[in-house]
Amino acid sequence: MTAACRRVTASAPAKTNLVLHVGSPSPDGYHPLETLFVAVDLRETVTVTLDPALARRDAGITVTVEPAPGSEYARMVAEGSARLADVPLDAGNLAVRAALAVCEAFGAPVPGLRVHLRKAVPVAGGMGGGSADAAAALVAVNDLLAGHLGAAPLPAERLARLGAALGADVPFMLLGGAAIGRGTGTELTAVPGPSGLHFVFVPQDQGLSTPAVYRQWDAEHTVANAASGTGSAPDPVPAEALEALAVGDPERLAARVRNDLQAPAIRLLPELEGLLNHGVDLGALAGWVSGSGPTLCFLAASGTAARNLAGQFAHERRHALAVAGPVPGARVEARG
C-alpha cells in the first residue's frame, strides 16, 4: 500500500466449536481446553480511518458501530430482540484495544484513528463476534500503520500474540479455516477441512456470560474433582472428528460433535434443550450450543438443507442464519 492510504477495511469470520473439551481450572481460574474451531462465512467488518484531529483527544481513538446492512443481526436490532447498546463504545471495546495494541507494537503514538464496526454477529452468543472485531482491527490497523509509518507490517505470529492478550478466540479469528486450539484456545494447530460444510445458527434473544457458563461448569464438576483429589485434563479432539472434517463428511462429523459447556449453558437457560431437539426433528444432522452459548448451531447435510432448516425456523418466527465453512481468517478487504 502507499503512504497516501488513509482508510483500511478488514473483515474476520465468526466461529463455532465443533468439539469443546474442558479441563479443570488452573490456579488463575482459566480452564484448559481441547477444541476444534471452524470459521464460518458470517463476517464482521472493521474500517479504520486515520484522523490526525483525534490524535490529541482522549486515547486518540473513537469507535462507532452499526448492524451490517441487510444482516439477520440488523433485523434482530430493528425488532428489539438484540441491543446494539450491548457493544461497548469505550476503551473496553475489543477493536479499540486491538488498535491500541498495534500502535504500541509499532512503538508509535496513536495517530488519531476512527474505528467503525459493521456487525453481523449477534453479541454474547458464543460465535466470537467481539473476537472477530479484534482480529479485523488488528489486521486493518497493522496495514494502515505500516503504510503511514513506512514500516514493515507486523508478522502474523506477532499479531497472534497481540490477539491472544485480547481474548482466547482472537488468534483463531486471525487464522481462520479449521484448527485445534489448546491451552485456553490460543495454541493453534491448523487442520485440513475443505469448505462446503453447512450450518444454521439460531441466536437467542438474550446473551449468556462466558464467565458464568464456566462457573456453572465448575459447580457441576467440583464433586468429581474433590472425590478424585485431582483435576482433569481435557480429552483430546477425537481423530474421527478430524477425519470427518478433512473429507467434508457431515454425517460422520455429526456423530463426533461435543461441547462440554453445553450442559452448563442448558442449566442456565433450560429452554435451549428443547430447541436443540427440535432442530434435529426438523432435519439437522446434529445440534449443539455454540461455544459458551446461547446461540445454537446445527449441522446440515447440504447448503440446500441448511437453507431449508433456516427457513423452517424463520417460519416459526425465530432468527436463523444459514452459514458455510471453513472460510479464511481476518483479511484486508479494501484500502482507500
Ligand X SMILES: Nc1ncnc2c1ncn2[C@@H]1O[C@H](COP(=O)(O)OP(=O)(O)O)[C@@H](O)[C@H]1O
Residues designated catalytic: 15, 169
| Interacting partner of 86 out of ligand X, ligand SUD, none (Cβ under 5 to 8 A depending on kind) | ligand X
Tell which residue, 195, 210, 190, has the closest CA to residue 129.
Answer: 210
With binding defined as CB under 6 A, does residue 294 bind ligand X? no
291 binds ligand SUD (CB under 6 A): yes
Yes or no: say if 143 and 151 are a contact pair by the CB < 8 Å rule. no
Q: Name residues contacting ligand SUD, limited to 1-40 (CB under 6 A).
A: 17, 25, 29-31, 33, 35
Q: Say whether 170 counts as a known binding-site residue.
A: no
**Which residue, 147 or 287, is less far from ligand SUD as judged by CB?**
287
CB burial class (10 A; 0-12, 13-18, 19+) of residue 105? Answer: middle
| Distance, CA of 149 to CA of 143 (rounded, Å) | 10
Residue 93 interacts, among ligand SUD, ligand X, none and using kind-specific CB cut-offs from 5 to 8 Å, with ligand X
> Residue 122 and residue 135: Cα distance in Å, rounded?
16
* Using rule CB under 6 A, residue 133 touches ligand X: yes
The label of the residue with cell 469505550 reads: 90
Residue 7 grid cell: 482508510
Residue 127 touching ligand X (CB under 6 A): yes
Chosen residue from 20, 82, 123, 166 binding ligand X by CB under 6 A: 123
Shortest distance, position 290 Cβ to ligand SUD, whole Å: 6
Among 67, 126, 171, 176, binds ligand SUD (CB under 6 A): 126
Q: CA-to-CA distance for 281 and 87, rounded, in angstroms? A: 34
Q: Smallest distance, Å, CB 105 to ligand X?
A: 19
In the complex, the smallest distance separating the C-beta of residue 292 from ligand SUD, rounded to whole angstroms, is: 4
Would you count residue 125 as binding ligand X (CB under 6 A)? yes
Do residues 225 and 231 touch, judged by C-beta distance below 8 A? yes
**SS3 call for 64:** strand
66's grid cell = 452499526
Residue 46 binding ligand X, by CB under 6 A: no
Decide: is 122 part of the binding site for ligand SUD (CB under 6 A).
Answer: no
List the one residue from 73, 201, 214, 313 that touches ligand SUD (CB under 6 A).
214
Closer to ligand X at the Cβ: 24 or 292? 292
Number of Cβ within a 10 Å radius of residue 231: 14
Q: Whose grid coordinates read 482507500?
A: 336
Cell for 169?
478466540
The helix-helix angle for 156-166 and 94-106 (nearest 10°) equals 140
234 binds ligand X (CB under 6 A): no
Give contact residues for ligand SUD (rule: CB under 6 A): 17, 25, 29-31, 33, 35, 126, 128, 167-169, 184-185, 210-211, 214, 291-292
Point out the annotated binding site for ATP.
Answer: 122-132
